Amino acid sequence: MIDPKVFESISAGMAQFMQSRPDLPGQEMLQQQIKQMLQSSFSKLDLVTRDEFDAQAAVLGRTREKLEQLEAQVAALEARLNEE
């Protein structure tokens, strides 16, 4: 899910625009609808947060280390078999 701060930032920008145009009726309702529309649109995208990305990157790093260890063990075992 996208960081809610993104929505707040866009919403704040819209609020500034609307405050500069006090003659527009229903500003608060329009702002809420825009925010809901943006949240809906972003939720349909296949996005991850930075925290989720970092967590998966850490898992991948540990998996890569384990794979390298196992490859070294297999190479050592193959070398021992070839010696016999």
Query: Are residues 2 and 34 located together in one domain of the fold?
Result: yes
Q: Which tens digit of pLDDT belongs to each residue from 4-17?
A: 677 778 777 777 77
pLDDT given for residue 22 in this prediction? 65
Query: Are residues 3 and 31 located together in one domain of the fold?
Result: yes
Query: Are residues 19 and 43 located together in one domain of the fold?
Result: yes
pLDDT given for residue 24 in this prediction? 67
CA distance 76 to 57: 29
N residues, the chain: 84
Residue type, 7: F
Q: Which two tokens stand for residue 14?
A: 């819209």
- Report the number of distinct structural domains present in the chain: 2
Query: Are residues 69 and 34 located together in one domain of the fold?
Result: no
Query: Are residues 77 and 57 located together in one domain of the fold?
Result: yes
Domain of residue 65, residue span = 48-84
CA distance 56 to 75: 28
Higher pLDDT, 31 or 67: 67
pLDDT given for residue 1 in this prediction? 54
CA distance 68 to 60: 12
Q: Give 13: exposed, middle or buried? Use CB within 10 Å, 0-12, 13-18, 19+.
A: exposed
Query: Are residues 29 and 61 located together in one domain of the fold?
Result: no
pLDDT given for residue 36 in this prediction? 85
Q: Which tens digit of pLDDT belongs to each residue from 7-61?
A: 778 777 777 776 776 666 776 777 788 778 878 887 787 778 889 999 999 999 9
